[in-house]
A and B are shown apart, each in its own frame.
Chain A
């Protein structure tokens, strides 16, 4: 057994009496004061998450742009420096190695932020694909701590407490800043459906920032429990649930992050074929009409036929309704198709719905994103 790792904030979580569990090889806080309170803090004010377990991989060199476009689905060439782009790395068969954020410093330097549970696999995969490209790939996951500070009042709180003005930073942009002589990287990104920031820095700087935000009493520490309920309501995918090595981005409903026009990328041919042949399975939204909670792994039925399985589901804290995402046979994926979910020994009625469970609240210049 590999040793379970600790993030640099581990002692702080213990001091706060967090419920700790191993996740992706790290002891991580699941909840501190209760998932509902933490979830609500992010939706209404501000909450912070230790996400130091995430992976940070740099790709640098004269072929960096060409290489990152080859291993990910999204388009980076037209993006200006300082942009963050969501994309997916695929296998040749079109299923997902991982999803990731790509930070563009320049055409010759990118930071890839990947899922904690996949860092080792991703790093190996990226290195294996790099033959023939003039790039240097380095895994800096151990050098960084990271916190996500999320919620509508976060910009104002950071300005006041950390004296960093982020008002000109838009969603999916990043900037470098100096905090108490430490270099820090801040992006207007997150995994909650709310406005907010992710801050990457050395372990000491992140510990100082955490303390300032915590001691103010204005930013509530939040665990992975609330992180999952928040990302779920925003219909953001979690690797191993809505995307995996058995699901393609088209099946998951993320075709908008796949740019076929940019040229070749790994998995492109398989996705084009899938597009031409039609999808066999799809990730859809589900809402139950009876009070019960559809949870991951529960089977989904049409009549007596099992048509799929719940990938994530909750009694939504924000919407107050039992909703889920489910991977089902595409022929049942039309909106309002009646389904049932088997919960213990009962079949509970529901229907297929869109995945806009809540209204997202991102800051984008000149528009309020729907």
Chain B
């Protein structure tokens, strides 16, 4: 049974977004990392890049396959998690602690159609 945490917003494509003032941290869910298996590589955008809700912004790759990352919100990338680039396997250990990018939110309404933990539990199984 995969872990689903309260306080995060969830997309159907198994990314999470966590709001902090005008910023959002974006990562993949515990369900997603379990589906992928051993994560060996993350391909992230550069700081300053614009990400768009519902559009691909990079990829997370397991031994077997590459999986596109879809942004749950629009915004400008202000930071990427450099630790993950060197040690992508920590995503398997704790997907919710392993944020991928931090974005400055351009449209706060983007959160409105993301799922709550309660709703996401029904699709993460």
Contact = CB atoms under 8 A, between A and B. Distances in A.
Interface of A: 19, 30-31, 34-36, 39, 225, 228-229, 291-293, 295, 314-315, 317, 343-344
Contact of B41 (A19, A315, A317): A315
Nearest to A228: B64
B38 A293 contact: no
A225 B63 contact: yes
A35 B63 contact: yes
Nearest to A36: B38
A31 B41 contact: no
A252 to B, nearest CB: 23
B64 A225 contact: yes
Given A225-B64, A293-B66, A315 B59 contact: no
Top 3 nearest A-B pairs by Cβ distance? A35-B63, A36-B38, A315-B40
Interface in B40-58: 40-41, 43, 56
Contacts of B66: 293, 295, 344
A154 to B, nearest CB: 23
Contacts of B41: 291-293, 315
12 contacts: A35-B37, A35-B64, A36-B38, A36-B40, A36-B63, A39-B63, A225-B37, A228-B64, A229-B63, A315-B41, A344-B43, A344-B59
A233 to B, nearest CB: 12
Interface of B: 37-38, 40-41, 43, 56, 59, 61-66
Contacts of A228: 64
A344 B59 CA distance: 9
Contacts of A30: 64
A317 B63 CA distance: 8
A225 B61 CA distance: 14
Nearest to A298: B66
Contacts of B61: 293, 315
B37 A34 contact: yes
B87 to A, nearest CB: 13
B37 to A, nearest CB: 6
A313 to B, nearest CB: 11
Contacts of B63: 35-36, 39, 225, 229, 314-315, 317
Given A293-B41, A293-B66, 12 more contacts: A30-B64, A35-B37, A35-B62, A225-B64, A229-B63, A292-B41, A295-B65, A295-B66, A314-B63, A317-B63, A343-B43, A344-B56
Nearest to A295: B66
A314 B56 CA distance: 22
B37 A31 contact: yes
Nearest to B34: A19
Contact of B40 (A225, A293, A343, A344): A293
Contacts of B59: 344
Nearest to A225: B64
Nearest to A346: B43
Nearest to A224: B64
Contacts of B56: 344
Contacts of A34: 37-38
Contacts of A292: 41, 43
B65 to A, nearest CB: 8
A200 to B, nearest CB: 28
A338 B59 CA distance: 25
